[in-house]
Amino acid sequence: MTSSGSVNARIEAHYSRAGLGELILAALRQAGKDLARLTVEDLAPLDEFHVRGREATLELGRLAGLTAGSRVLDVGSGLGGPSRCIARTFGCHVAGIDLTEEYCGVATMLAKLTAMTDAVQYRQADAMDLPFPAESFDVVWTQHTSMNIADKAGFFRELGRTLKRGGTLAVYDILAGPVTPIHFPVPWARVPGSSFLCTAGELRSILEGNGYRIEAWQDSTDQARLWFTAVARRIQERGPAPLGLHLLMGDDFATMANNQRRNLEEGRIATVQVVARKI
């Protein structure tokens, strides 16, 4: 999701997987799900593409104070799991954008299967050039997206452009830890050239320098470490479950999960949830 075409192409190639929609439908059937009565909860193991999954989405929604009627922009919406979750839980309306066209198509398919099309819509777009007028949204929401964006100041300026004055920015992201470098591949990048992490201090400065007042800052690294340790152990002991993030990432997801565990344990990355106000 950067303004550089070559980096954008590399990032979209990282996330794209041919036939992803059919793979997901087959996995749902294998797991015994009724596609005619599919629920948002049925999809939770595979459509929340971030550390700690559904639990982290609900935490951020409560921290951001989402309410019925809120108009939310989800930047980096992936397969649409978080947007469907917050629309169902809090009653808000969500527009999702993602750089990966295949993800947008699958997200739309899953919204139809869960009867959520009135509450959520998806379109392909670059986060550095959002296709919305200024001050369109009450909340701008982004989870595990800025790790693929080099120009973080430009990213948060563009998010702020679409946010109403006094509106809420809700961020859940992976940051650089005190130890470098990180182990690759990881879920957001197979090579260093697609990964752009900043430190907690840098993120604070970027937000405060681009018109935001930070209202909540929660370091969730310890919870992330425990979660990924459990994920890596389950994969090692039992192999991948019928429904899981390996459907998105393919055969090397086990290596990614193990590297993510190591990066967290060794202090190479951190996770944080941030709520800020546009001033």
How many other C-beta atoms lie within 10 A of the C-beta of residue 9? 11
Alpha helices in the chain (DSSP H): 5-15, 20-30, 40-47, 53-64, 81-90, 101-113, 152-162, 200-208, 221-238, 246-249, 253-265
Number of H helices and number of E strands within the chain?
Answer: 11, 7
d(CA 179, CA 273): 21
- Report the CATH number at residue 60: 3.40.50.150
d(CA 257, CA 142): 21
Domain residues for 184? 5-278
Q: Using an 8 Å Cβ cutoff, are 80 and 87 in contact? A: no
The pLDDT value recorded for residue 4 is: 59
> In this structure, what token pair is assigned to residue 194?
């697609």
Q: How far is CA 141 from CA 23, 66, 95, 116, in A?
A: 28, 10, 10, 18
d(CA 246, CA 156): 30
Q: Edge-to-edge strands of the sheet including 93-98?
A: 120-124, 93-98, 71-75, 137-143, 163-176, 269-278, 212-219
pLDDT tens-place values along the chain, 279 residues long = 334 578 899 999 999 988 999 999 999 999 999 999 999 999 999 999 999 999 999 999 999 999 999 999 999 999 999 999 999 999 999 999 999 999 999 999 999 999 999 999 999 999 999 999 999 999 999 999 999 999 999 999 999 999 999 999 999 999 999 999 999 999 999 999 999 999 999 999 999 999 999 999 999 999 999 998 887 788 778 877 888 888 999 888 889 988 999 999 999 999 999 999 999
The structural domain count of the chain equals: 1
d(CA 240, CA 180): 29
> In this structure, what token pair is assigned to residue 191?
């090579």
